[in-house]
């Protein structure tokens, strides 16, 4: 049966794909988003089937009448740049921690049954070369990552006090259509796909042999849907369990674009993570989950999106 689901940050990249999928499963959807990095155009095709609130999670209680009864909250709203968070720690603390506290209080007051939280693989910090399971000790290197780890613990603490269930998905490098290119630290997949679509040069930091676990947004959406009803554990990695290098991206995009991308060689980033890959066996064992979108297919779809949406 359809549920009443509140998606914070639902007009963002991941949120807009998730809301499309939730609507397909007959749920009633309420989005609260202040459009600080999300866009109304991301959800324009859904607007007549959802309640879209232009509001800030830090004052979510002010919107309780429009929000109405809610069974489950999917909490995606956040400031999302690890790099920026080091120079704006107060702002990250304010939105990602104080904002989550307001969402938790709202959930308690409205007797919400479950909260699903978008956490991040960045909680692991720079533990290169390992296949990261949920049992690896987190070592956040940015304030952003720290707020995500704190969020997991806040849900644990208040879940026990208020009686709601919860689950945190540690997302690895998510990519796909609608990821914002205007962000100075946009995901490399996003920048490279955009450049492929518009035949622009890209910056290559270091030797290109750094690797990441790139997971397509539709697989991430499937992961959120899997944990909606409940879960045995409260923390899961969501990735592909495959490490692909930046050079792999360039090869795949040369094929998609019909010509190699022009690269501007730059020195490696200080403290750049060399190699990171998710161990997803916990998620696979419980939910039978495995990602289905191959990197080459996901990149082709992302390039096609940027070709069709020159404004993005
Ligand atoms: N994209 C990734 O690779 C990735 C990886 C790990 C975790 N995550 C997490 O997933 C979530 C969604 O990320 P995304 O990539 O879709 O980014 P996004 O920036 O597109 O989405 C975040 C949304 O939250 C909204 N928002 C921010 N502050 C708000 C506030 N105070 N009140 C209301 N709305 C607010 C933004 O406008 C935006 O629509 C975030 O919590 C992010 O930390 C993303």
The string of DSSP letters for 182-198 reads: SSTT--HHHHHHHHHHH
Q: Do 61 and 76 share a structural domain?
A: yes
In a domain, 282, yes or no: no
Q: Is 184 exposed, middle or buried (0-12, 13-18, 19+ CB in 10 A)?
A: exposed
In a domain, 280, yes or no: no
- Measured CA to CA, the distance from residue 240 to residue 277 in angstroms comes to 8
Q: Which protein residue has the closest C-alpha to ligand 1 atom 43? A: 80
Is the overall model pTM greater than 0.75, yes or no? yes
Count: domains in the chain: 2
Q: Do 111 and 71 share a structural domain?
A: yes
Alpha helices in 199-240 (DSSP H): 217-226
Q: Do 14 and 93 share a structural domain?
A: yes
Q: Do 226 and 109 share a structural domain?
A: yes
Is the Cβ–Cβ distance between 286 and 227 less than 8 Å?
no
In a domain, 281, yes or no: no
Q: Do 184 and 261 share a structural domain?
A: yes
In a domain, 65, yes or no: yes
Q: Ligand 1: which atom is nearest the Cα of residue 11? A: 39
Q: How far is the CA of 105 from the centre of ligand 1 (A)?
A: 20
Q: Do 91 and 73 share a structural domain?
A: yes
Tokens of 286: 């419980």
Q: Do 162 and 149 share a structural domain?
A: yes
- The conformation of residue 63, written as its DSSP 8-state character, comes to G
- The one catalytic residue in 124, 144, 216, 236 is 144
Q: Do 138 and 71 share a structural domain?
A: yes
Predicted local confidence at residue 284, as pLDDT: 98
Predicted local confidence at residue 146, as pLDDT: 97
Per-residue pLDDT of the chain (312 residues; tens, 9 = 90+): 799 999 999 999 999 999 999 999 999 999 999 999 999 999 999 999 999 999 999 999 999 999 999 999 999 999 999 889 999 999 999 999 999 999 999 999 999 999 999 999 999 998 876 789 999 999 999 999 999 999 999 999 999 999 999 999 999 999 999 998 876 667 899 999 999 999 999 999 999 999 999 999 999 999 999 999 999 999 999 999 999 999 999 999 999 999 999 999 999 877 677 888 999 999 999 999 999 999 999 999 999 999 999 888
H or E element at residue 14: helix 13-24
Predicted local confidence at residue 182, as pLDDT: 76
Please work out, in degrees rounded to the nearest 5, the angle formed at the alpha carbon of residue 191 by the alpha carbons of 9 and 299. Answer: 85
Q: Which domain holds residue 269?
A: 176-213+242-274+292-308
Q: How far is the CA of 204 from the centre of ligand 1 (A)?
A: 26
Q: Do 130 and 185 share a structural domain?
A: no
Q: Do 131 and 43 share a structural domain?
A: yes
Ligand 1 pocket residues where CB is under 6 Å: 9, 11-15, 32-38, 56-58, 76-78, 80, 95, 99, 118, 120, 171, 173-174, 180, 187
Q: Do 181 and 139 share a structural domain?
A: no
Known catalytic membership, residue 175? no
Q: How far is the CA of 255 from the centre of ligand 1 (A)?
A: 31
């Amino acid at each position: 049966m359809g549920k009443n689901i509140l998606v914070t940050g639902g007009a963002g990249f991941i949120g807009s794909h998730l809301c499309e999928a939730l609507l397909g499963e007959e749920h009633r959807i309420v989005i609260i988003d202040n459009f600080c990095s999300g866009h109304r155009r991301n959800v324009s095709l859904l607007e007549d089937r959802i309640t879209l609130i232009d509001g800030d999670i830090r004052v979510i209680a002010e919107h309780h009448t429009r929000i109405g009864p809610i069974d489950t909250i999917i909490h995606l709203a956040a400031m999302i740049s690890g790099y920026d968070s080091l120079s704006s720690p107060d702002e990250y603390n304010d939105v990602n921690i104080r904002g989550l506290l307001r969402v938790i209080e709202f959930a308690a007051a409205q007797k919400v049954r479950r909260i699903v939280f978008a956490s991040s693989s960045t909680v692991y910090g720079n533990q290169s070369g390992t296949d990261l399971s949920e049992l690896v000790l987190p070592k956040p290197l940015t304030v952003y990552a720290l707020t995500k780890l704190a969020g997991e613990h806040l849900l644990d603490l208040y879940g026990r006090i208020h009686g709601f269930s919860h689950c945190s998905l540690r997302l690895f490098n998510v990519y796909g259509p609608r990821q914002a290119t205007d962000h100075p630290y946009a995901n490399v997949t996003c920048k490279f796909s955009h450049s492929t679509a518009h035949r622009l040069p890209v910056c290559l930091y270091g030797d290109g042999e750094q690797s990441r676990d790139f997971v397509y947004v539709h697989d991430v959406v499937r992961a959120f849907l899997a944990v909606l009803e409940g879960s045995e554990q409260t923390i899961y990695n969501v990735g592909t369990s495959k490490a692909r290098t930046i050079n792999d991206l360039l090869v795949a995009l040369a094929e998609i674009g019909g010509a190699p991308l022009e690269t501007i060689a730059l020195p490696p980033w200080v403290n750049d993570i060399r190699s990171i890959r998710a161990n997803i066996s916990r998620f696979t064992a419980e939910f039978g989950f495995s990602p289905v979108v191959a990197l080459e297919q996901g990149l082709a779809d992302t390039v096609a999106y940027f070709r069709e949406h020159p404004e993005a």
